[in-house]
Structure 1
Amino acid sequence: MDTRTALLTAAAAVLLLTAVGAVAAPDAIVDPREVDDRPGDVRIVDTVVSPGEVRGETAELRLGIDLRHRGSGVENVTIRHRAIGADSGLLVDETTVDVGDVDGGGERTVNGSVDVERAGGYRIETAVFADGERVDSQTTRVGGVEALTPEYADSRIGFTDGNVWPTVAVSVREADNTTATLSVSVSVTNRGDEASAPLDLRVLLRQSESNVIADEATETVESVRPGRTDTVTTTVEVPANYNYYVDAALWSDDVLIDETQGVANLNPRETISADESVEEVDFAVEDFAGGGEDSAGSDDGGRPAADGADGAEDTDDSTPGFGLTAALVALVVAALVARRRR
């Protein structure tokens, strides 16, 4: 056998052995570029905060943490969330999420949450631990938590907020010298995507200077279609010649949904606007307490009688100004002053 033949035979044997080895142990041949000998590393890429369950005094803040993993596997990974008051610096809530072992590279989202009071702002401190050792941290600030609406009061239906069309409209149906029957119409708008459930409309009429409730009424607001506005009308009866605040509120199962206010100016001499009183005027409690002809100390109109035992008018002999006693006192004082000057 010559040299050339021997070399070809040896090369063929090497190729054969290599092929047999690849079939018997497929992992024996590995691309060096696919080997990652770096130590495992877990980092926070992003944090997303969203409202969760909103209650009367507290609210749940849901936290979505995007973790990025590189290198070899990392064991016993945990994430700790702390909610700290922005003004007080006090710890409000702390939670821990057990992630476990992280491997495979890439990113993953880990969800968590904290409970905070529905007031003020907070600083959310998130820390990542690997086998008990802190490896990364991030701080997120949250404000305006008080603006979150509790779930029991979350409704897309409310009073109409228009620039021209009145939310509360009051008209006089009947009137005499003592009482007035008023028709109160209230506009309600559904701003949601579904038809609303029936609600209760409660209307109170308060005398402007005293805040005494003159009359009240309750009506049912039937289902309102999405994007539609309905008008609900009710009737009340109040003493005439007074000004009133018209308070309207929407209730769902004794939960206050929305409220608004209008006015009814029945006093021709004075007027008021919503949440503002122009001037004080005389007020007779008896008019709102149901006093009538049989009320003690009242005339036929239910108002207090004039001063005096028999309600008689003042005579011409009445002394004007301060009266006789005041005049005598003034004379005595003048005499004493003159005597001292002498």
Structure 2
Amino acid sequence: MDRDTALAGAAVGVTVLTLIAVVIVPGVLADPTEDGPVSPGPTDISETSISYDESAVRGETVTLGVETRVRHSGNPTPNVTLLVRAVDAESGLVKTTQTVEVGTLRDDGETAVPTNVTVERAGGYHIETVLFQDNRRVDRAAKTVRGLEALTPTYARTPVVFSDRAALPPLSVSVSDTASNRTTLDLAASLTNTGDAPSGDLAVTFVLRQADSNVVAARTTSSVGEIRPGRTATTTATATVPSGYNYYLDAVLTRDGVVVDTARTAANLDPTRRISVNETEQAVEFRVEDFEMDDTENAGGQQTEAPEGTATSQPGFGVAVAVVALLAAALLVRRQHR
């Protein structure tokens, strides 16, 4: 048997053995990477929204609902974790932190991850969400909430407020009687029910303070009857104070002992001097806004200020010195030609 015949026989034998192995052991020729480890698909934070439930607004705290939408595509991504923290907008201190185990993301698309964060009902906070995969940070997003003190606690919520109309002021004062240096005043407060249900369990406390000394001269409380939705009602009371003085009249609307609204006006009983109520109030409202990143976190760390030595601010001696130099050079050339 020559060498070529032996090689051909060996090749045929190897082929036969391979075919037998394929039949007996399926998958022996499969791609070795088919059952091996695969890279997890990309995932990031697509959107963050913040809301609150009125029932979650308490006297000192409020619970914010933070919904983070996590986007995923490609291969399954295991061990996904979301960290949500509230950072005080003024001090920069972390006030609270919540961690949510998202698990494994398999489907393409977005997954909503809800989280509740309880903070003090005052000031503002940066609500930061950080996405981790296998304890590795992969994305971050943030929003800012401000004006939390404007949220009304559940116990103080009522649709009844002091009316604020030019023709129907919230408070009015008139003189009922004057005798023995004492003046009796008729006090009235106008209240409007802005809600959808009748009101109840309300009272108005009238407090008269002498304008110069701030001494309380009289205090009286009047119960408020039921006010139907959209209606305005007036509650009245009387108070007697020393004559010849000016007074501030404060009215406090309470529900079951809880202050829900206030109003103020002036009562001028001094004929030689008058006072008025001049108060500047700044409305505070709850709002959610995008988080403003620090300058050190700008993309690429680009500078916004123009570098020194630009065309508009060139260091050196200026145009005048250049003209002097040209004149000196011309005189030197002229002297050399002589």
Structure 2 match to 1:44: 45
How far the C-alpha of 1:118 sits from its partner, in A, is 2.4
Contact kept in structure 2, 1:40 and 1:73, CA below 8 Å: yes
How far the C-alpha of 1:201 sits from its partner, in A, is 0.8
The yes-or-no answer on 1:208 pairing with 2:211 is yes
**Secondary structure of 1:272 counterpart:** coil
Residues 8-47 of structure 1 mapped to structure 2, 5 A cutoff: 39-47=40-48
Contact kept in structure 2, 1:201 and 1:248, CA below 8 Å: yes
Residues 45-64 of structure 1 mapped to structure 2, 5 A cutoff: 45-52=46-53, 53-64=56-67
Tell me: CA distance 1:226–1:201, structure 2 relative to 1, closer, same or farther (3 Å): same
Q: Taking CA–CA contacts closer than 8 Å with sequence separation of 6 or more, which of the two structures ends up with the larger relative contact order?
A: 2
The match for 2:126 among 117, 123, 128 is 123
The yes-or-no answer on 1:94 pairing with 2:97 is yes
In structure 2, what residue type is equivalent to 1:265?
N
Structure 2 match to 1:163: 166
Structure 2 match to 1:148: 151
1:279-301 Cα offsets, whole Å, 9 max, x none, are xxxxxxxxxxxxxxxxxxxxxxx
Structure 1 match to 2:3: none
Contact kept in structure 2, 1:38 and 1:71, CA below 8 Å: no
Q: How far apart are the structure 2 equivalents of 1:84 and 1:208?
A: 44
How far the C-alpha of 1:105 sits from its partner, in A, is 2.0
Unaligned 5+ residue runs, structure 2?
A: 1-37, 280-338
Q: How far apart are the structure 1 equivalents of 2:200 and 2:101?
A: 42
The yes-or-no answer on 1:218 pairing with 2:215 is no
Unaligned 5+ residue runs, structure 1?
A: 1-36, 277-342
Compute the TM-score of the two structures, normalised by the length of structure 1.
0.66
CA RMSD of aligned residues (A): 1.9
The match for 1:232 among 220, 231, 235 is 235
In structure 2, what residue type is equivalent to 1:260?
A
Q: How far apart are the structure 1 equivalents of 2:80 and 2:196?
A: 43
**Secondary structure of 2:240 counterpart:** strand
1:108-140 Cα offsets, whole Å, 9 max, x none, are 211112222223222121011223222221121
Q: Percent identity?
A: 44
Structure 2 match to 1:176: 179
1:36-77 Cα offsets, whole Å, 9 max, x none, are x88423221111011242222322221011122212222232
Q: How far apart are the structure 2 equivalents of 1:250 and 1:184?
A: 14
Structure 2 match to 1:77: 80
Q: How far apart are the structure 2 equivalents of 1:75 and 1:38?
A: 10
Determine which structure has more spread, i.e. the larger CA radius of gyration.
1
Number of residue pairs the alignment of both structures matches: 240
Q: How far apart are the structure 2 equivalents of 1:261 and 1:43?
A: 53
Structure 2 match to 1:5: none
Q: How far apart are the structure 1 equivalents of 2:256 and 2:122?
A: 25
Structure 1 match to 2:266: 263
Contact kept in structure 2, 1:175 and 1:181, CA below 8 Å: yes
Structure 1 match to 2:254: 251
Q: How far apart are the structure 2 equivalents of 1:158 and 1:194?
A: 14
Structure 2 match to 1:301: none
Contact kept in structure 2, 1:51 and 1:60, CA below 8 Å: yes
In structure 2, what residue type is equivalent to 1:130?
Q
How far the C-alpha of 1:275 sits from its partner, in A, is 5.3
In structure 2, what residue type is equivalent to 1:211?
N
Compute the TM-score of the two structures, normalised by the length of structure 2.
0.66
**Secondary structure of 2:152 counterpart:** coil
1:245-298 Cα offsets, whole Å, 9 max, x none, are 11100111221101111121122222111258xxxxxxxxxxxxxxxxxxxxxx
**Secondary structure of 1:146 counterpart:** helix
Q: How far apart are the structure 2 equivalents of 1:224 and 1:41?
A: 59
Contact kept in structure 1, 2:40 and 2:78, CA below 8 Å: no
Contact kept in structure 1, 2:128 and 2:141, CA below 8 Å: yes
In structure 1, what residue type is equivalent to 2:85?
R
Structure 2 match to 1:107: 110
